[in-house]
Amino acid sequence: MRKLLPLIGNSHGGGRSALTCRYRCGDACFHEVPNKSDNEYVGDVIARAYSRRSMLRSAAVVTVASAAGTAITLGGNGSSATAAPAADAQGGAADAAGARGLRFKAIAPNTDDRVTVPEGYEQNVVIRWGDPIVKGAPGFNSDKQTAAAQAGQFGYNNDFLSLLPLGDDYERRQLLVANHEYTDENLMFKGYDPANPTREQVEIAWAAHGLGVVVVQEDHRSGKLTAVNRHQLNRRLTATSEFQLTGPAAGSPLVKTSADPTGTKVLGTLNNCSGGTTPWGTTLHGEENFNQYFANAGQVTDATEAARLKRYGVTAGATERKWERFDKRFDVLQEPNESHRFGWVVELDPYDPHSTPRKRTALGRFKHEGAQPRLTEDGRPVVYMGDDEKFDYFYKFVSSKQMKKGDSRAAKEHNLTLLDEGTLYVAKLTGDSPAAEFDGTGKLPSDGQFDGSGAWIKLLTSSPSGNVSHVEGMTAEEVAVFTRVAADKVGATKMDRPEDIEPSPRTGRVYVVLTNNSDRGKAGKAGVDEANPRNVNKHGQILELAENFDDPAGDGFAWRLFLVAGDPKDPATFFAGFPKEKVSPISCPDNVTFDPHGNLWISTDGNQLGSHDGLFGVATAGERRGELKQFLTVPRGAETCGPLVQDKRVLVAVQHPGEIDGASVEKPQSVWPDGPGKIVRPAVVSVWRKDGKNIGI
Ligand code: FEO
Ligand code: CA
Ligand code: CA
């Protein structure tokens, strides 16, 4: 019989297992917090500003003025709970009266080793780690893995997902794009010895990282999707594929290496977490915890470079996976600039299987969680981005060029330059309530809202006619490559781990997911503020931000907390003012998406409430604003990633199933997806209604 380890109580950062922490982010939570700047946190700013602020507010509407004097409003339903209808999101009622798109019976939190979906819903596994996708790739055999096979098979640990339309020639087919964030060799290889990985294991891991593109076939009568193996559009990009650096850092001495004296050609993409889909038909992929793959930063003697490496958390000694033993580029003592070539947003044209993906350096370099664009009124892309580290920042990039419509070759070529030209900003937040009202418990301030105003501070303007640094003492190239250092200098606001950031296609409001921060308020660390109001923040919060929608390129915004996550019985939680006894418990929000009705869907990473991770839907407008309902849970040890909601289906990437401390191929801690005796495989799952109707209607 399998011996199951205790499910909860392994309190590695945000409730994850030690194994996940080690392989996913290189134990980021256990290292010194990289942000040593003395940047103010919101509390400092409030203390200074409160006395001179006039309070232009009512119970339901928050208005601030941008620097240009333009009114920005977050709109109504901020805290009103007066019209909340009866509902029982915790599993009691078949809630036919829920918000449109969320009319399903919420599932109860649980620890079942499977994907649990609401009554009346069905599911299938779309594609698994190791399934052959590229022509010539062999079927998966866990005992006969090779790097060559893996390079043509679906990669490990699927995270971000995008579904793109295909034309009339491809009836009922879509193009699925997936990130393969990281490998867990303990769960991939029998007899894995972490101290002595073999070259073959390392090369398989290189091939299991990266991106995957695969055509998927829709079922006629349901939301079921099936992968079309070996289709000509199918593609894998790995840790050794060619990528091009574009924008202000391309060709800079800061990114030149012995293998690439041009500073423009990078091999590989690493730790792709979340991403985005552009209106011009490309996908964006955040390179997140890239630091963990590079060794020996602790021995760098140049003080400036040592400080920069430390700010990015590059590994001081040997890395967990020991890749530096097999390729010198992973050793910063031998290739000092190789790590500077990771930590970017990658843009991929998935419709062209021969295209070289680009690393867009105008968007800055940090631990990119994702990058979701929208267009300004005049058609310029704005990309919102989080830097997922405790006490780090969130950013936006505003292109100076307008998107061209249509799919002509000229339009396509033009649109592939949009993210090379524009301005990068970092966010600074100010609260509107007195600092004394924030005691670290999460108690609402007397005005009934965690809210305030904010400024986008310019860091870098990129242009073919010359790149401009807006940061004193740093060149444009330095701001691009060492963006964290630049943001420290301009006094950006230290947040509780900014993860996904997505603008609502309906309202234009932007949702900034802050997953948790176990160090908030600890000795020597930043204390609470109005945007990050809980000490030792276990459960996270979601911030709602409004720019002047006529001018999202503007430099001012209004913000308020939309959700303060946790057990609704905990007084320190907040669900946009919706009655808390009627919502599902939620912990550690991470990736988000919007459904066709404008509801926000939230996946979690590291539930601290004793349940497996899950996917939740919540209305962001109307009288049910804040009514959060749980739609699914994932198997043991897994994280819910890459959510997408279409009319007929909900798609999730089940990442790192079975990743529980002590787990190995020989001692699996999950039997998902193929049952006992089969190796555990991360996989993409589609969920639909058995009666064929649309999701949540
Ligand atoms: Fe890969 Fe920030 O989660
Ligand atoms: Ca307030
Ligand atoms: Ca994530």
Mean pLDDT of 312-325: 98
Q: What is the pLDDT of residues 664-678, one digit of tens each?
A: 999 999 999 999 999
Asked if residue 69 has pLDDT above 90, the reply is no
Q: What is the pLDDT of residues 42-56, one digit of tens each?
A: 433 323 322 222 222
Asked if residue 82 has pLDDT above 70, the reply is no
Q: What's the CA gap between 504 and 511, in Å, rounded?
A: 8
Which ligand 1 atom minimizes the distance to the CA of 367? 2
Which ligand 1 atom minimizes the distance to the CA of 274? 1
Q: What's the CA gap between 590 and 539, in Å, rounded?
A: 11
Q: DSSP letter string over 193-254?
A: -TTS--HHHHHHHHHHSEEEEEEEEEPSSSS-EEE-TT-TT-EEE-TTSEEEEESTTTT-GG
**81 Cα: distance to centroid of ligand 2 (angstroms):** 17
Q: What is the pLDDT of residues 149-196, one digit of tens each?
A: 999 999 999 999 999 999 766 679 999 999 999 999 999 999 999 999
Ligand 1 pocket, residues with Cβ under 6 angstroms: 181, 273, 288, 369, 388, 499
Domain ranges of the chain: 18-297+306-689
Contact 613, 587 (CB under 8 A): no
Q: Is 363 helix (H, G, I), strand (E, B) or coil?
A: helix
**284 Cα: distance to centroid of ligand 3 (angstroms):** 14
pLDDT at 6: 28
Instruction: Write the residue with the smallest CA distance to atom 1 of ligand 1.
Output: 273
Q: What is the pLDDT of residues 483-533, one digit of tens each?
A: 999 999 999 999 999 999 999 999 999 999 999 999 999 999 999 999 999
Which ligand 1 atom minimizes the distance to the CA of 499? 2
Q: What is the pLDDT of residues 249-302, one digit of tens each?
A: 999 999 999 999 999 999 999 999 999 999 999 999 999 999 999 999 999 999
**For the chain, what's the residue count?**
697
Q: What's the CA gap between 603 and 650, in Å, rounded?
A: 12
**250 Cα: distance to centroid of ligand 2 (angstroms):** 43
pTM value is: 0.91
pLDDT at 28: 82
Per-residue buried b or exposed e for 489-512, using 16+ beta carbons within 10 Å of the residue's own CB = bbbbbbbbbbbbbbbbeebbbbbb
Contact 369, 363 (CB under 8 A): no
Q: What's the CA gap between 279 and 383, in Å, rounded?
A: 11
